[in-house]
Amino acid sequence: MTTIADRIHLHLLSDSTGETLEMLAKAALAQFDDADVVRHFWPMVRSRQHLDRIVPELKANPGLVLFTLVNPEARARLEEVCTKNGLPAVPILDRVTEALEKALGQEAHGRPGRQHQMDKAYFERVEAIQFTIAHDDGIGWENWEEADIILAGVSRSSKTPTSIYLANRGFKVANIPLVVESPPPPKLFELSKPLVVGLTTAPERLVQIRRNRLLTLNEQSQTAYIDNERVKSEVAFARRMFADNGWPVIDVTRRSIEETAAAIIRLCSERSHKSGGDFEGVKAI
Protein backbone atom coordinates (compact mmCIF):
# COMPACT_ATOMS: atom_id res chain seq x y z
CA MET A 1 0.00 0.00 0.00
CA THR A 2 1.36 3.41 -0.98
CA THR A 3 1.78 5.91 1.86
CA ILE A 4 2.26 9.66 1.86
CA ALA A 5 5.96 9.04 2.45
CA ASP A 6 6.15 7.15 -0.86
CA ARG A 7 4.63 10.03 -2.80
CA ILE A 8 6.86 12.36 -4.77
CA HIS A 9 6.23 15.72 -6.35
CA LEU A 10 7.37 16.09 -9.95
CA HIS A 11 7.73 19.65 -11.25
CA LEU A 12 7.82 20.07 -15.02
CA LEU A 13 9.00 23.52 -16.15
CA SER A 14 9.11 24.47 -19.81
CA ASP A 15 9.60 27.67 -21.78
CA SER A 16 7.21 26.34 -24.44
CA THR A 17 4.08 24.19 -24.38
CA GLY A 18 5.80 21.50 -22.33
CA GLU A 19 4.64 18.72 -24.63
CA THR A 20 8.14 17.29 -25.06
CA LEU A 21 8.75 17.43 -21.33
CA GLU A 22 5.47 15.68 -20.54
CA MET A 23 6.12 12.90 -23.05
CA LEU A 24 9.60 12.22 -21.68
CA ALA A 25 8.36 12.25 -18.10
CA LYS A 26 5.53 9.89 -18.99
CA ALA A 27 7.90 7.51 -20.78
CA ALA A 28 10.27 7.46 -17.81
CA LEU A 29 7.49 6.97 -15.24
CA ALA A 30 6.16 4.01 -17.23
CA GLN A 31 9.25 2.11 -16.09
CA PHE A 32 8.05 2.17 -12.48
CA ASP A 33 5.18 0.19 -10.96
CA ASP A 34 2.55 1.94 -8.87
CA ALA A 35 4.49 5.19 -8.66
CA ASP A 36 2.52 7.76 -6.65
CA VAL A 37 3.53 10.97 -8.41
CA VAL A 38 1.95 14.38 -8.00
CA ARG A 39 2.70 16.35 -11.16
CA HIS A 40 3.03 20.12 -11.22
CA PHE A 41 3.05 21.45 -14.77
CA TRP A 42 4.51 24.89 -15.50
CA PRO A 43 4.51 25.75 -19.23
CA MET A 44 5.56 28.97 -21.00
CA VAL A 45 8.10 29.99 -18.35
CA ARG A 46 10.15 32.53 -20.28
CA SER A 47 11.33 35.06 -17.72
CA ARG A 48 12.80 35.29 -14.25
CA GLN A 49 9.68 37.16 -13.12
CA HIS A 50 7.46 34.25 -14.17
CA LEU A 51 9.79 31.79 -12.49
CA ASP A 52 9.75 33.78 -9.25
CA ARG A 53 5.97 33.28 -9.09
CA ILE A 54 6.54 29.51 -9.21
CA VAL A 55 9.28 29.37 -6.56
CA PRO A 56 6.86 29.32 -3.58
CA GLU A 57 5.19 26.23 -5.04
CA LEU A 58 8.55 24.50 -5.44
CA LYS A 59 9.35 25.21 -1.80
CA ALA A 60 5.91 24.15 -0.58
CA ASN A 61 6.02 20.88 -2.55
CA PRO A 62 9.66 19.79 -2.67
CA GLY A 63 10.45 17.08 -5.19
CA LEU A 64 12.17 16.37 -8.49
CA VAL A 65 12.41 19.22 -11.01
CA LEU A 66 12.64 18.50 -14.73
CA PHE A 67 13.06 21.49 -16.99
CA THR A 68 13.65 22.76 -20.51
CA LEU A 69 14.58 26.43 -20.14
CA VAL A 70 16.83 28.25 -22.59
CA ASN A 71 16.53 31.74 -21.07
CA PRO A 72 19.87 32.08 -19.18
CA GLU A 73 18.45 34.30 -16.43
CA ALA A 74 15.42 32.10 -15.75
CA ARG A 75 17.54 28.98 -15.86
CA ALA A 76 20.16 30.40 -13.49
CA ARG A 77 17.43 31.45 -11.08
CA LEU A 78 15.84 27.98 -11.14
CA GLU A 79 19.16 26.24 -10.53
CA GLU A 80 19.89 28.64 -7.68
CA VAL A 81 16.53 27.95 -6.01
CA CYS A 82 16.87 24.19 -6.44
CA THR A 83 20.40 24.14 -5.02
CA LYS A 84 19.41 26.29 -2.05
CA ASN A 85 16.41 24.08 -1.23
CA GLY A 86 18.06 20.74 -1.96
CA LEU A 87 15.83 19.97 -4.92
CA PRO A 88 17.30 17.73 -7.65
CA ALA A 89 16.95 19.53 -11.00
CA VAL A 90 17.45 17.85 -14.37
CA PRO A 91 17.80 19.79 -17.66
CA ILE A 92 16.52 16.93 -19.77
CA LEU A 93 17.59 18.15 -23.22
CA ASP A 94 21.12 19.31 -22.35
CA ARG A 95 22.94 16.08 -23.15
CA VAL A 96 21.15 15.67 -26.46
CA THR A 97 21.73 19.30 -27.43
CA GLU A 98 25.42 19.10 -26.52
CA ALA A 99 25.84 15.92 -28.57
CA LEU A 100 24.15 17.55 -31.57
CA GLU A 101 26.30 20.68 -31.24
CA LYS A 102 29.39 18.50 -31.36
CA ALA A 103 28.13 16.40 -34.27
CA LEU A 104 26.92 19.39 -36.30
CA GLY A 105 29.79 21.70 -35.43
CA GLN A 106 27.54 24.58 -34.47
CA GLU A 107 25.87 26.04 -31.39
CA ALA A 108 22.19 25.59 -30.67
CA HIS A 109 20.14 28.75 -31.14
CA GLY A 110 18.49 28.57 -27.74
CA ARG A 111 15.11 29.78 -28.94
CA PRO A 112 12.22 28.69 -26.68
CA GLY A 113 9.48 26.74 -28.43
CA ARG A 114 11.26 26.78 -31.76
CA GLN A 115 9.77 23.40 -32.69
CA HIS A 116 6.31 24.98 -32.50
CA GLN A 117 6.98 27.79 -34.95
CA MET A 118 4.45 28.31 -37.71
CA ASP A 119 6.97 27.48 -40.42
CA LYS A 120 6.66 25.41 -43.58
CA ALA A 121 6.73 22.14 -41.64
CA TYR A 122 3.89 23.35 -39.41
CA PHE A 123 1.62 24.11 -42.36
CA GLU A 124 2.56 20.81 -43.99
CA ARG A 125 1.33 19.01 -40.87
CA VAL A 126 -1.91 20.97 -40.94
CA GLU A 127 -2.37 20.04 -44.59
CA ALA A 128 -1.63 16.38 -43.79
CA ILE A 129 -4.28 16.34 -41.05
CA GLN A 130 -6.86 17.94 -43.33
CA PHE A 131 -6.10 15.45 -46.10
CA THR A 132 -6.30 12.49 -43.73
CA ILE A 133 -9.65 13.51 -42.26
CA ALA A 134 -11.05 14.04 -45.75
CA HIS A 135 -9.89 10.59 -46.88
CA ASP A 136 -11.06 8.42 -43.99
CA ASP A 137 -12.92 5.15 -44.51
CA GLY A 138 -12.50 5.01 -48.28
CA ILE A 139 -13.70 8.55 -48.97
CA GLY A 140 -12.06 10.53 -51.77
CA TRP A 141 -10.34 7.57 -53.38
CA GLU A 142 -9.92 9.60 -56.57
CA ASN A 143 -7.16 11.55 -54.78
CA TRP A 144 -5.31 8.62 -53.27
CA GLU A 145 -2.26 9.18 -55.47
CA GLU A 146 -1.61 12.36 -53.45
CA ALA A 147 -1.29 10.37 -50.23
CA ASP A 148 1.97 9.28 -48.62
CA ILE A 149 0.40 6.19 -47.06
CA ILE A 150 -2.72 4.09 -47.66
CA LEU A 151 -3.89 1.83 -44.82
CA ALA A 152 -6.08 -1.13 -45.73
CA GLY A 153 -7.78 -3.57 -43.41
CA VAL A 154 -11.06 -4.99 -42.20
CA SER A 155 -13.38 -3.00 -39.97
CA ARG A 156 -11.99 -2.13 -36.49
CA SER A 157 -8.37 -2.89 -37.34
CA SER A 158 -7.17 0.53 -36.06
CA LYS A 159 -7.02 2.21 -39.48
CA THR A 160 -8.54 5.56 -38.50
CA PRO A 161 -6.67 6.22 -35.23
CA THR A 162 -3.40 5.15 -36.85
CA SER A 163 -4.10 7.44 -39.79
CA ILE A 164 -4.74 10.41 -37.50
CA TYR A 165 -1.60 9.71 -35.50
CA LEU A 166 0.51 9.56 -38.68
CA ALA A 167 -1.12 12.75 -39.95
CA ASN A 168 0.01 14.52 -36.80
CA ARG A 169 3.52 13.43 -37.71
CA GLY A 170 3.23 15.06 -41.14
CA PHE A 171 2.06 12.18 -43.36
CA LYS A 172 -0.91 12.38 -45.70
CA VAL A 173 -2.84 9.18 -45.04
CA ALA A 174 -5.95 7.61 -46.53
CA ASN A 175 -7.55 4.39 -45.35
CA ILE A 176 -9.91 1.87 -46.88
CA PRO A 177 -12.03 -0.81 -45.15
CA LEU A 178 -11.84 -4.19 -46.85
CA VAL A 179 -15.25 -5.81 -47.18
CA VAL A 180 -15.73 -9.21 -48.80
CA GLU A 181 -18.98 -8.22 -50.56
CA SER A 182 -17.67 -4.85 -51.73
CA PRO A 183 -14.30 -4.87 -53.53
CA PRO A 184 -12.20 -1.71 -53.12
CA PRO A 185 -11.91 0.76 -56.01
CA PRO A 186 -9.54 -0.40 -58.77
CA LYS A 187 -7.50 2.72 -58.01
CA LEU A 188 -6.11 0.96 -54.95
CA PHE A 189 -4.19 -1.49 -57.16
CA GLU A 190 -2.87 1.18 -59.53
CA LEU A 191 -1.13 3.50 -57.05
CA SER A 192 2.56 4.31 -57.51
CA LYS A 193 3.38 7.09 -55.01
CA PRO A 194 1.71 6.01 -51.74
CA LEU A 195 2.95 3.14 -49.63
CA VAL A 196 0.03 0.73 -49.18
CA VAL A 197 0.15 -1.08 -45.83
CA GLY A 198 -2.16 -3.85 -44.72
CA LEU A 199 -3.34 -3.94 -41.10
CA THR A 200 -4.46 -7.24 -39.68
CA THR A 201 -5.34 -8.61 -36.28
CA ALA A 202 -6.31 -11.86 -34.58
CA PRO A 203 -9.95 -12.79 -35.32
CA GLU A 204 -10.66 -13.46 -31.65
CA ARG A 205 -9.44 -10.03 -30.68
CA LEU A 206 -11.37 -8.45 -33.53
CA VAL A 207 -14.61 -10.07 -32.38
CA GLN A 208 -14.08 -8.71 -28.89
CA ILE A 209 -13.43 -5.18 -30.17
CA ARG A 210 -16.48 -5.28 -32.44
CA ARG A 211 -18.70 -6.61 -29.68
CA ASN A 212 -17.63 -3.77 -27.39
CA ARG A 213 -18.30 -1.34 -30.20
CA LEU A 214 -21.85 -2.62 -30.64
CA LEU A 215 -22.48 -2.40 -26.93
CA THR A 216 -21.44 1.26 -26.85
CA LEU A 217 -23.85 1.91 -29.72
CA ASN A 218 -26.64 -0.05 -27.99
CA GLU A 219 -27.01 -2.26 -31.04
CA GLN A 220 -27.83 -5.95 -31.24
CA SER A 221 -24.90 -8.20 -30.45
CA GLN A 222 -26.01 -11.21 -32.52
CA THR A 223 -24.96 -10.17 -36.00
CA ALA A 224 -22.63 -11.45 -38.71
CA TYR A 225 -20.37 -8.54 -37.77
CA ILE A 226 -19.18 -10.49 -34.71
CA ASP A 227 -19.71 -14.05 -35.90
CA ASN A 228 -16.47 -15.95 -35.30
CA GLU A 229 -16.40 -17.82 -38.60
CA ARG A 230 -17.46 -14.76 -40.52
CA VAL A 231 -14.70 -12.65 -38.96
CA LYS A 232 -12.11 -15.34 -39.70
CA SER A 233 -13.18 -15.26 -43.34
CA GLU A 234 -12.86 -11.47 -43.44
CA VAL A 235 -9.35 -11.57 -42.01
CA ALA A 236 -8.33 -14.34 -44.43
CA PHE A 237 -9.80 -12.35 -47.35
CA ALA A 238 -7.76 -9.30 -46.38
CA ARG A 239 -4.57 -11.31 -45.92
CA ARG A 240 -4.94 -12.85 -49.38
CA MET A 241 -5.31 -9.38 -50.87
CA PHE A 242 -2.19 -8.18 -49.06
CA ALA A 243 -0.19 -11.18 -50.28
CA ASP A 244 -1.48 -10.99 -53.87
CA ASN A 245 -0.37 -7.36 -54.13
CA GLY A 246 2.87 -7.64 -52.21
CA TRP A 247 1.83 -5.08 -49.60
CA PRO A 248 3.65 -5.07 -46.26
CA VAL A 249 1.47 -6.29 -43.40
CA ILE A 250 1.42 -5.23 -39.76
CA ASP A 251 -0.34 -7.30 -37.13
CA VAL A 252 -1.90 -4.81 -34.70
CA THR A 253 -3.20 -7.43 -32.25
CA ARG A 254 -0.71 -6.58 -29.52
CA ARG A 255 0.48 -3.20 -30.75
CA SER A 256 -0.47 0.24 -29.55
CA ILE A 257 -1.32 2.92 -32.11
CA GLU A 258 2.09 4.46 -31.51
CA GLU A 259 3.87 1.16 -32.13
CA THR A 260 1.92 0.53 -35.33
CA ALA A 261 2.69 4.04 -36.58
CA ALA A 262 6.38 3.60 -35.78
CA ALA A 263 6.47 0.39 -37.81
CA ILE A 264 4.78 2.14 -40.75
CA ILE A 265 7.22 5.06 -40.60
CA ARG A 266 10.08 2.59 -40.67
CA LEU A 267 8.59 0.97 -43.78
CA CYS A 268 8.39 4.40 -45.42
CA SER A 269 12.02 5.04 -44.60
CA GLU A 270 13.15 1.68 -45.96
CA ARG A 271 11.14 2.18 -49.13
CA SER A 272 12.63 5.61 -49.66
CA HIS A 273 16.19 4.37 -49.19
CA LYS A 274 15.66 1.51 -51.63
CA SER A 275 14.36 3.92 -54.26
CA GLY A 276 17.26 6.29 -53.69
CA GLY A 277 15.00 9.07 -52.49
CA ASP A 278 15.32 11.39 -49.52
CA PHE A 279 13.24 10.55 -46.48
CA GLU A 280 12.62 13.55 -44.26
CA GLY A 281 11.33 11.37 -41.47
CA VAL A 282 9.03 12.48 -38.70
CA LYS A 283 8.54 16.19 -38.19
CA ALA A 284 8.65 17.34 -34.58
CA ILE A 285 5.41 18.61 -33.15
Which residues belong to the annotated binding site for ADP?
Answer: 153-160
- Residue of 167, 176, 109 whose CA lies nearest to 138: 176
Orientation of helix 48-60 relative to helix 72-84, angle to 10°: 20
Which amino acid is it at 94?
D
The angle, 0 to 180 degrees and rounded to 10, between the axes of the packed helices 159-168 and 120-134 is: 160
Q: How far apart are CA 283 and CA 285, in angstroms?
A: 6
Torsion sign, CA atoms 280, 267, 153, 226: negative
> Could you tell me which residues are annotated as the binding site?
153-160
8 Å CB contact between 196 and 189: no
Alpha helices (H) along the chain: 19-29, 48-60, 72-84, 94-104, 120-134, 159-168, 203-216, 228-245, 257-274
Neighbouring residues of 179: CB distance < 8 A, sequence distance ≥ 6: 154, 155, 234
